[in-house]
Structure 1
């Protein structure tokens, strides 16, 4: 008699477990389907960035291959979404030369970007006696002698998406803007410089940046 009762209890537990698993699978499917439908309706897209201009105040290479630089860049961010807002929780701007960071990080204040809105940032990017790797030193000095240099202006940080009252978790964002700056050639026909203040030279770039989120 006791053996039959044990078998009966085991069957009941097995049926209950199967029902729970089935309910979990159905619930997971509904949640996933809802997410996909919402995603298809909203069609969220990553923001677009443009490097509008760069103003060079100083750019000097000294022995033993130390770089001191000071320039200001204007970067425009555009939110292409109609229903999705973007929180920029953190953005650090800096410059690199041939994969080497050559300036300090310059932070940008956190900001919310609404639907179809633009944000314009003009951070100063600078570094004092930044050591340059030996394999880049000769090329950097050569570029300085030629009067033009190719840099990458980068922005790294974290963003969140907002739909109505719902706000997502944080995502990493990486922005890369190529910048060809003829800082020693004021008469360059493609990138003519505009004098700013006593020592600055402003160059209009209007360069589209790549964005990874």
Structure 2
């Protein structure tokens, strides 16, 4: 056998080996994707659903030059809509923001496990004393108060884990945003909010995992 034929035979063997390895890898990949699809079809994972039930305003005052003092109690409901997946809330911080600026300190919610179709309710106090805010935000907030309505966002940030049977996933970031329209005194009067004013909202929150 000539040297050229040996080289050609070796190249053919190498190509056949590469094709076989590629076929095995492709078959393995298809099986893995099929298993993932099958698990998804069986479990149908759905993100938790949060609802801002009400807020109670105990204090919300802008002081000169650009400071905000607030004391708010928010009642938030969490529901696990999954039939076969449990949720561990390992760490959740709740706070209030106004026009994307955080205006209270974060309050830690107690860690909990939420089983299939379970519901949990939290009613924490969130507050901030003489929190500095941008001058344009102070002007905007005074205008909103004068008009009679202020849009505050109650936000939750933290980590969760999914539980399926005995298997528990790693941590996933959770971000929840609950808009709350708070009504002040008579529009145009400039009245500050009454202490202990409670607003029933039942506002659906946006959730991102």
Aligned to 1:140: 141
Q: Deviations over 1:112-159 (max 9, x none)?
A: 211000011122211111112122211212333455421111112222
- CA–CA distance in structure 1, aligned partners of residues 2 and 58 of structure 2: 91
Q: Deviations over 1:161-201 (max 9, x none)?
A: 2211222233222211111122546xxxxxxx9x9xxx533
Residue 30 of structure 1: how far off its partner (Å)? 0.6
Aligned to 1:53: 54
Alignment of 1:18-167 (within 5 A): 18-167=19-168
TM-score (norm 2): 0.86
Aligned to 2:203: 207
Q: Work out whether residues 53 and 205 of structure 1, in 8 Å CA contact, stay in contact via their aligned partners in 2.
A: yes
- CA–CA distance in structure 2, aligned partners of residues 7 and 111 of structure 1: 66
Aligned to 2:189: none
Structure 1 residue ranges, 4+ long, deviating more than 6 angstroms after superposition: none
SS of equivalent to 1:46: coil
CA-atom RMSD, angstroms? 2.3
- CA–CA distance in structure 1, aligned partners of residues 160 and 27 of structure 2: 32
- CA–CA distance in structure 2, aligned partners of residues 181 and 48 of structure 1: 22
145-154 or 59-68: which moved more? Answer: 145-154
Q: Work out whether residues 146 and 184 of structure 1, in 8 Å CA contact, stay in contact via their aligned partners in 2.
A: no
30-39 or 165-174: which moved more? Answer: 165-174
- CA–CA distance in structure 1, aligned partners of residues 185 and 173 of structure 2: 36
Unpaired runs of 5+ residues, structure 2, are 187-192
| Number of residue pairs the alignment of both structures matches | 202
SS of equivalent to 2:104: coil
Q: Work out whether residues 56 and 183 of structure 1, in 8 Å CA contact, stay in contact via their aligned partners in 2.
A: no
Aligned to 2:190: none
Q: Deviations over 1:59-98 (max 9, x none)?
A: 1110111001111111000011111111222222111112
Q: Deviations over 1:89-109 (max 9, x none)?
A: 222211111222211222223
